[in-house]
Structure 1
Amino acid sequence: MARKLLVAIALLLLPMQLSAKDSLGIFDGWGAFRDPAIPRCYAIALAKPSRLSRDYQAFASVGNWPRRGVRGQLHFRLSRKLAARAPITLAVGNKRFVLIGGGGDAWAQDKAMDAAIVAAMRSISTMVVSSRDAKGRRFSDTYLLQGAATAMDAATIGCARLR
């Protein structure tokens, strides 16, 4: 119970949550939120804590924007600022994906990759994003996926009638 409360508090501190209007629930380490003003709904989780240096608070989100026709779009806020042209790799179980990004952010290359990653997230317990930071050091951000499927479903249902 204390872990869920800690996750809920941490999620509320993220900039994305500051503008969220409705909490759709906390599911293990993942939260689901709806912002009808935009409108958008998303599932979100913080990366596992690390003692290594960080430039940003790392998080992963899967969002839906009904007015834009966007569903299941993956976004990572990486823990470090990326080196120019550094490859960004996401490992979900034995599946590997090369993401696009810059600064401290990463995304799937297209809708098909978003769908493949989201599908993989539903059956695996962890995912890891890896790259090289602006100082040339390798780094990775690890996410536990318990609760991710339920949070993604809650976000999808939460936006089903928003247009």
Structure 2
Amino acid sequence: MKRLAALALPLSMIGMAAQARDSLGVFEAWGAFRDPATPRCYAIAKPVSAKSEGFAAVGSWPRQKIRGQVHFRLSRMRAGDAAVILNVGDRRFTLVAGQVDAWAPDARADAAIIAAMRSAGSMSVQTRDARGRGFADTYALRGAATAIDAAALGCARLR
């Protein structure tokens, strides 16, 4: 299973376009960006709670032939044994997780998550933090489909 944790991104939506990143647009709560030097393209959003350091992203890396990979940066460090569950509309997905990052377990799950994102109004990632307290990062999905499509188009010709 090849998962990339390469989304080391600035968390401010305004500051994301700086330093070799091209803004492909901001669509409601989601932004789309291209980094031609890497190359990579991604759609990204912060949780509804703006205090959070977390983010949700859907990225593509043309050189690695990876497209539509879902990635979450959790707002808190996760307890080592805690499951990470993504709820998108009425769909539920179990994610693979590190201490602060989580991904779909495979490309098929990435595709199912993105399909669910296209028709839902919100999604939340829930787990327990290092102190054992449950928490959830919630994301508005207005603009997500357009941002995901813009990012995919932004990388269509990059190699």
Q: With the length of structure 1 as denominator, give the TM-score of the two structures.
A: 0.87
Contact 1:20 1:33 in 2 (8 A): no
Aligned-residue sequence identity (percent) comes to 58
Q: Does 1:142 align with 2:138?
A: yes
Give CA-to-partner distance per residue, 1:48-93, whole Å, 9 cap, x none. 1167xx6xx0100000000100000000000110001210000001
For the residues of structure 1 that align with 2:76 and 2:38, how far apart are their CA atoms?
28
Partner of 1:94: 90
Contact preservation (8 Å) 1:28, 1:146: yes
**Offset at residue 24 of structure 1 (A):** 0.2
- Which is helix-richer, 1 or 2? 1
Aligned to 1:5: none
Distance 1:159 1:139, change over 3 A: same
Q: Structure 2 length normalisation: TM-score?
A: 0.89
Between the aligned partners of 1:35 and 1:13, the Cα distance in structure 2 is 14
1:69-123 Cα deviation digits (max 9, x unpaired) = 0000000000110001210000001110000111111000000000000000000
Q: 1:157: which partner in 2? A: 153
Q: How many residue pairs get matched?
A: 149
Residue aligning to 2:126: 130
> What does residue range 51-62 of structure 1 map to in structure 2 within 5 Å?
57-62=53-58
Question: Where do 4+ consecutive residues of structure 1 move more than 4 Å?
Answer: 17-20
- Whether contact under 8 Å (1:47, 1:141) holds in the other structure is yes
In 2: Cα distance, 1:20 partner to 1:92 partner: 32
State the match for 1:4 in structure 2: none
Q: Secondary structure at the match of 2:119?
A: coil
SS state of the match for residue 162, structure 1? coil
Q: 1:12 offset after TM fit, Å?
A: 3.5
Measured against aligned partners, the alpha-carbon deviations of 1:111-163 in whole angstroms (never above 9, x if no partner) come to: 00000000000000000100000000000000000000000000000000000
User: Which segments of 5 or more consecutive residues in structure 1 lack a partner in the other structure?
Assistant: 1-8
